Structure 1
């Protein structure tokens, strides 16, 4: 890691939050460049980036799928039972 690429005192911990923002397209272009440069040189941070990106993709895909009607009905019955138990206490 060269000093000209990364500001002094920054280590991997400084990049963890920015990696999430990078994935969500919530970083300024200059910050994106710095984070991407760090990812090119840092295997552990690159693995963290890949993991975060994969988790977000799986969650997004899961949220788009609908549960089968029978499963949804069983879950709703269970939720109603829990609600009744809570209100009876």
Structure 2
């Protein structure tokens, strides 16, 4: 984060683009990322590429479902990572 208004920098936005695409970040974070994407042509372009990759994977692998145990382990691990990332970014 940089600036007095806690505007996300390009690296932070691009590192969280999949969380944004999957609606897996906080509403406050989504608002900051969306504003950055609206203002930054480079990040908007990268977001578009990631969005297309996600759509392609969904089309090609949309019928496959991971085992319930794997999904639960991943969900737990991702929740731990998101909390760790959001905590570090908001420290002064």
Which residue of the partner structure matches residue 7 of structure 1?
6
Q: Where in structure 1 are there 5+ consecutive unaligned residues?
A: 66-89
RMSD: 2.2
TM-score normalized with structure 1 length:
0.61
Q: Which has the larger radius of gyration?
A: 1
Q: Where in structure 2 are there 5+ consecutive unaligned residues?
A: 64-92
Aligned pair partner of 1:30 in 10, 15, 28: 28
TM-score normalized with structure 2 length:
0.59
